[in-house]
Structure 1
Amino acid sequence: MGVFKKLFQQTFIYGLATVLPRALAIVLVPLYTAVLAPSAFGIYATLMSYIILGNVLLSYGMETAFFRFINKHAAQKKTVEATALTSLTATAISFLICTLLFREQIANTIAFKVEYVTYALLILVLDALVILPFAWFRANERPRRYAIIKILNVCINLGCNLFFFLVLPRLVTNTSENFWSTIYTQENKVVYVFISNVIASGATLLMLLPLYVKIGFGFNKKLWKQMLKYAFPVLVAGVAFSINEAFDKIMLKYLLPENVAEAEVGVYAACYKLGVFMTLFATAFRLGIEPFFFNHAKEANAKTTYATITKYFSIFGSVILLVVIVYIDIFKKILISDSEYWVALSIVPIILLANLCLGIYHNLSVWYKVTDRTRFGAYISIVGALLTLGLNFTLIPLMSYMGSAIATLAAYGTMMVLSYFFGRKYYPVPYDLKKIGGYLVLSVTFSAIAFYGFDGNLIIGTALLLVFLLLVFLLEKKDLKRIMNR
């Protein structure tokens, strides 16, 4: 099978496995916004932001180090696998014990109920315990196994949410006490979101336990230190990246007046979900591409291949940007039925463009991963995090959630540009900047015309989308035929 065909096949399977969990978040938005007030949705969104940061801390770059070391030290593959698994398992269990002992203090510090914090800690640790097994599937090119378990996780999570929000209220009678009434709450429904996540994460770990046996526990101290040294910049970059991804919701909660903060976070987070279409595409692509980058780094035409991949990522991303903007009035009615949340729709174009910049950044970041200069990933992400924190702190009091959206775009756009210029110095890749830039500018221009100029007019928007697609077809048809025939 040709290099590109194999890449696209694996990207599709990984994409399916990645899109479905994130698509679950989209599918559940109509349910959550129908039964939860914006303030309750804000509680969910803020705590999930903390979980994003916690996931990075509990993985501490070991997943990326795992990919690098099983390729760099092929003779020690089993040792690398066992050492990584032991390290992640030990730190996850230690973290759970320590944080459960101090969960009341943690809850008081971040101003949440102890119950919510407990569930969040359980989700964090259960997710940390499946990092290495899922990485093992990717490293050993077993995308179908990876996808099946991810899909089952989605089904369990969805089933639990549907039960708690739709079925359970029907099982509770107003006239007499029964078993179901003991677990039902009318005032605190957001807790069911966290319970559903705990159940799904726990079931996923159970499905992956046989892989624990297959890999086995073992520990090579010298190798572990080398892996940590490689992983540390990835951890720093991950923390900085989680700040870029999640701290807007957290800062909105604490920088806005207390009486409106959670509701503002709620409407912002709900409309932010409309930007998830770009995130789904970028994440799926990254999961398929990361092992590919490492596996093909030594090939003679590697740089040309990377350039081609980045160009087509930019094209597909530009199409997604334009599609979502053109049909945003349709998407909002499907995904956010309660018009109370629509006040924040103005952030969607900005968030979509920000996520496209982030996706391009991930493609450009190949240079520091294959040259073992991961510290540059940390430097770039730190710059993005500082921009996120600084701009949110400055703009939220003035512009509320619009300030957060602008900060997100500024951070991801800056990271994209910095990665390109550093990469040009240390690992020059012949990117087709004219075409990439041309597609991006045209997509953004058409999106602005459709959204701001014609206020979402479907006829005008569809015409602009068709023009864009026609131009892409005319300019790329020869290259596409050549790639598919390899």
Structure 2
Amino acid sequence: MSIFQKLFKQTFIYGLATVLPRALAIVLVPLYTEVLEPSQFGIYATLMSYIILGNVLLSYGMETAFFRFINKHPEEKKNVQSTALTSILISSVSFFIIAYLSRESIANFINFDTRYIVYTLLILMLDALVIIPFVWYRANDKPLKYAFIKILNVCINLSCNLFLFLVLPTLATENSNTVWDAIYLSESKVLYVFIANVIASAATLLLVFPLYFKIGLGFHKKIWREMLKYAFPVLIAGIAFSINEAFDKILLTYLLPEDIAESEVGVYAACYKLGVFMTLFATAFRLGIEPFFFNHAKEKNAKETYALITKYFTILGCVIFLSVMVYMDFFKELLIRNEAYWVALSIVPFILLANLCLGIYHNLSVWYKVTDRTKYGAYISVLGAIITLVVNFALIPIISYKGAAIATLAAYATMMFASYFLGQKYYKIPYDVKKILGYLLTAIVFSGISFYIFERNLLIGTALLLVFLFAVFLLEKGEIKNMINK
């Protein structure tokens, strides 16, 4: 099996583990937007933003360090694994205990009901405790187990949501003064989202818990210090990334007038979900590509391979970007049935393009990962975070959530270009820049024509999409045949 075939096989399986669960989770978007008011959806979106930041802090770069050290020091593989597992276990449980004891203060500080805080803390701890087991599956080429558990997690989450939102109200109405009536929440229905997440996360931990015995607990101070040193820039980059990814919802909450803030966050977060198709693709690709980058760093033609992969990632990303833009009306009715949320559709082009830039950035980031220059990843992400904060603070008070969308695109585009230019200095990879930029610009122009000039006319949009696909076929058919025949 060629390296490309192996890569695409792993990417497909990891993609399935990401896309199928998220596809099932997409069912929840029309459910939430139909049952919850925009203000309640805004509460959900804001708290999930805090969870994104919390996940980064509780993993503190140990996932990337795990991959690097088991490849860099294969003779110490067992000690690396047990040290990483023990470190995450101790830090996660300690965090939960301390935060739980301070739950009232946290609730007052961020102005949310204490119940939300408790469930959020539980989700954070449970998710942190499965980090190393999932990394172990990826590092040991067990994508099927990884995929099965990931898919089961979301199936449980989905089932709990459907029961709590659709079945429980009927049971409580028909059976008053019963246990169903006692657990039914007539006003704070958004709490069900977090209850379902806790149940799914707890089930996932039970499924991966046997790996705690297989890997074993152990702590080797020297290895731990080296891993932390490597992981610290990754942590800084992760914090910066979480600012880029999630702080727009938090800042909207605090920068807009109190009487409209939660509703504005709600419609913004709902339409933001239309960028899920690009996010799914980029995430699935990253999960498959990261181990590949490390495993093939010493190959003679590694740089040429990285360049080819980045080009084809860009092509596929452009197709997804253009397809969503052309068929926007179909996707909005599929995912967001409540027309009250459609007022924020103008952000979708910015979010889709931003996520495409982010995906390209992850492909370009190979240079600092395989050369142990992770500090540059931190610098680039901090630059993105600064742009996110500056643009959000400047534009949100003026144009509300449109400013947040523009900030997201500005941050990820800057990170993409910064990574490219720095990478060419320290680890020069022969990217086909002319073709990559050509595909990007063509997709942007075609989507702009379809979305803004012809106002999402299906015939015009479909024709533009077909022209793009035909151009790709003509330009790449020879190279694709060579890859398949290798």
TM-score, structure 2 length as denominator?
A: 0.99
Q: Which runs of 4+ in 1 moved over 3 A?
A: none
Read off the aligned partner of 1:165 and give its amino acid letter. Answer: F
Give the distance between the partners of 2:50 and 2:242, measured in 1 at CA.
Answer: 9
The residue that corresponds to 2:240 in the other structure is 240
Matched, 1:93 2:79: no
Q: Relative to structure 2, which stretch is displaced further, 216-225 or 166-175?
A: 166-175
Instruction: Output one character per residue of 1:224-265: Cα deviation in whole Å (capped at 9) or x when no partner.
Output: 000000000000000000000000000000000000000000
Q: Deviations over 1:160-206 (max 9, x none)?
A: 00000111011112673111000001111000000000000000000
Secondary structure, counterpart of 1:188 in structure 2: coil
Task: Tell me the residue number matched to 2:144.
Answer: 144
1:432 aligned partner, one-letter code: D
Q: How does 1:288-437 map to 2 (within 5 A)?
A: 288-437=288-437
Within 2, Cα distance between the matches of 1:120 and 1:479? 48
1: CA distance, partners of 2:178 / 2:390: 52
Structure 2 contact 58–92 (Cα < 8 Å) conserved: yes
Q: Is the 8 A contact 2:25 2:154 kept in 1?
A: no
Q: For 1:176 and 1:221, how far apart are their aligned partners in 2?
A: 58
Counterpart residue type for residue 166 of structure 2: L
**Within 2, Cα distance between the matches of 1:429 and 1:58?**
33
1:371 maps to amino acid: T
Aligned letter for 1:357? C
Q: Deviation per CA, 1:191-223, whole angstroms, max 9, x where unpaired?
A: 000000000000000000111110000010001
Provide the rounded CA distance (Å) in 1 between the counterparts of 2:381 and 2:120: 25
Aligned counterpart, 1:228: 228
Partner of 1:474: 474
Q: How big is the shift at 1:22?
A: 2.7
Distance 1:23 1:370 in 2: 32
Q: Which residue of 2 aligns with 1:464?
A: 464
Encode CA deviations 1:361-414: one digit per residue, 9 max, x unaligned: 000000000000000000000000000011101100001000000000000000
Assess, with a 3 A threshold, how the Cα gap between structure 1 residues 340 and 82 changes in structure 2: closer, same or farther: same
What is the alpha-carbon distance in structure 2 between the residues aligned to residue 115 and residue 390 of structure 1?
A: 33
| CA distance in structure 1 between the partners assigned to 2:180 and 2:471 by the alignment | 58
Q: Which amino acid is 1:240 matched to?
A: A
Tell me the CA shift for residue 21 of structure 1.
3.2
Matched residue SS, 1:109:
helix
Residue 228 of structure 2 aligns to a residue whose secondary structure is: helix
| C-alpha distance in structure 2 between counterparts of 1:445 and 1:186, whole Å | 48
> 5+ unaligned residues in a row in structure 1: which ranges?
none
Tell me the residue number matched to 2:484. 484
Identity %: 72
Distance 1:306 1:364 in 2: 8
Q: Which amino acid aligns with 1:382?
A: V
Instruction: State how 1:54-93 maps to structure 2 within 5 Å.
Output: 54-93=54-93
1-side partners of 2:409 and 2:268: how far apart?
15
Q: TM-score, normalising length from structure 1?
A: 0.99
Question: Helix, strand or coil: the match of 2:209?
Answer: helix
Per the TM alignment, residue 331 of structure 1 is displaced from its structure 2 partner at its CA by 0.4
2:238 maps to amino acid: G
| In 2, Cα distance between equivalents of 1:371 and 1:145 | 30
Name the counterpart of 1:180: 180
1:19 deviates by 1.6
Distance 1:349 1:17 in 2: 26
**Cα separation, partners in 2 of 1:57 and 1:376, compared to 1, 3 Å:** same
Distance change >3 Å, CA 175–CA 203, structure 1 → 2: closer
AA of the residue aligned to 2:226: Q
AA aligned opposite 1:71: N
Amino acid in structure 2 at the alignment position of 1:235: L
Aligned partner of residue 214 in structure 1, secondary structure: helix
Q: Which residue of 1 aligns with 2:131?
A: 131
Aligned residue number for residue 271 of structure 1: 271
Which position in structure 1 is the counterpart of 2:217?
A: 217
Where does the alignment leave 5 or more consecutive residues of structure 2 unmatched? none
CA distance in 1, matches of 2:408, 2:5: 34
Alignment partner, residue 250 of structure 1: 250
